[in-house]
Structures are given as C-alpha cells and as structure tokens.
C-alpha cells in the first residue's frame, strides 16, 4: 500500500515579517506569496509591552489576490481575527492556513498607548510525494 506525504518547506522565523516593534495604533503590512504552491500556513506572534491599555489587542487581517500576477488586493479583508493582548509581556500566537495565491497580511495594534512586538513566519506546502 502506498503512502502520500505533503512536502512542506518550513520558513525561518520572521521570513514574512521580522520581529519588531509596532507602535501604538499603528498598522504594518507584509506579503505572503504562495503562487505556484499548494498553500501554506502563517504563524503570527504578538508580545504586548510592559503595560496594556483598555484598547489592547492585535487585529490580524488577510487580503487575498489568488489569481493575478499583479497585486490588486480587496479593500475589505477576506478574514480577520484578534489576538487579545490580555497580559503584559506574555506572548500569544496563532497559526492560520492559507490557500494558493498572493496574501497581504495586515497587523494593527489596537492599543492606543503602548507598542507591541510582532512577527510573521510562513511555511509553504510544495507538493505531494507518493511512495
């Protein structure tokens, strides 16, 4: 009986967005290019600073342009979710699955007073091997 295996290329930490500070109320964007791939996964890490405000949280938004070779992203996110930043200095993270295509990822610091540290790492689903 044969076995089919998904071949995954694991990304180096911060290959989508290097770990860095995101100012209070600021947004940063980066692109994950999965054209020619079966898809991939994206790991988002958020570490609040030493203090969190009542307006805390990190909003993660995904805008997808699956077919065009020229980026033309929608103005409304395909999906979005929030990491709560509930406790100062405690890292929180989430991994999401991405289909083939170009993905623009937006990270918005909802904390109006304090910076957070964010990072984005993605891996690609390259092919299947049957043996």
Q: What is the pLDDT of residues 49-98, one digit of tens each?
A: 888 888 899 999 999 875 566 666 777 888 999 999 888 999 999 999 99
Which of 9-13, 18-22, 49-53, 127-131 has the lowest average pLDDT? Answer: 49-53
Q: Could you give the CA distance from residue 103 to residue 66 in angstroms, rounded to a whole number?
A: 8
Give the pLDDT score at 103: 92
Q: Average pLDDT in the 24-42 region?
A: 95
What CATH number should be reported for the domain whose range is 8-130? 2.60.120.680
Q: Could you give the CA distance from residue 51 to residue 71 in angstroms, rounded to a whole number?
A: 37
Q: Record the pTM.
A: 0.90
Which of 25-29, 44-48, 51-55 has the lowest average pLDDT? Answer: 51-55
- 54: alpha, beta or left? (left if phi > 0; alpha if psi -120 to 50): alpha
The answer to whether the beta carbons of residues 29 and 108 sit under 8 Å apart is no
Residue 3 gets which letter from DSSP? -
Q: Could you give the CA distance from residue 79 to residue 2 in angstroms, rounded to a whole number?
A: 37
Q: Could you give the CA distance from residue 35 to residue 53 in angstroms, rounded to a whole number?
A: 39
pLDDT band for position 4 (50/70/90)? very high
Q: Which residues contact 70 (CB under 8 A, 6 or more apart)?
A: none
Q: 109-121, pLDDT tens digit by residue?
A: 999 999 999 999 9
- Average pLDDT of the chain is 92
Give the pLDDT score at 40: 98
C-alpha dist (Å) from residue 29 to 16, 25, 44, 61: 10, 14, 13, 9
């Amino acid at each position: 009986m044969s076995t089919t295996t998904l071949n995954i290329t694991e990304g180096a930490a911060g290959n989508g967005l290097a770990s860095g500070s995101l100012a209070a109320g600021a947004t940063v964007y980066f692109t994950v290019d999965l054209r020619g791939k079966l898809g991939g996964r994206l790991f988002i890490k958020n570490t609040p600073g030493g203090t969190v405000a009542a307006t805390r949280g990190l909003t993660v938004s995904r805008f997808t342009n699956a077919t065009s070779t020229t980026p033309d992203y929608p103005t409304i996110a395909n999906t979005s979710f929030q990491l709560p930043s509930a406790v100062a200095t405690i890292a929180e993270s989430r991994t999401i699955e991405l289909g083939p295509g170009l993905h623009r990822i937006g990270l918005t610091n909802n904390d109006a007073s304090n910076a957070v540290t964010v990072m984005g790492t993605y891996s690609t689903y390259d092919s299947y091997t049957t043996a």
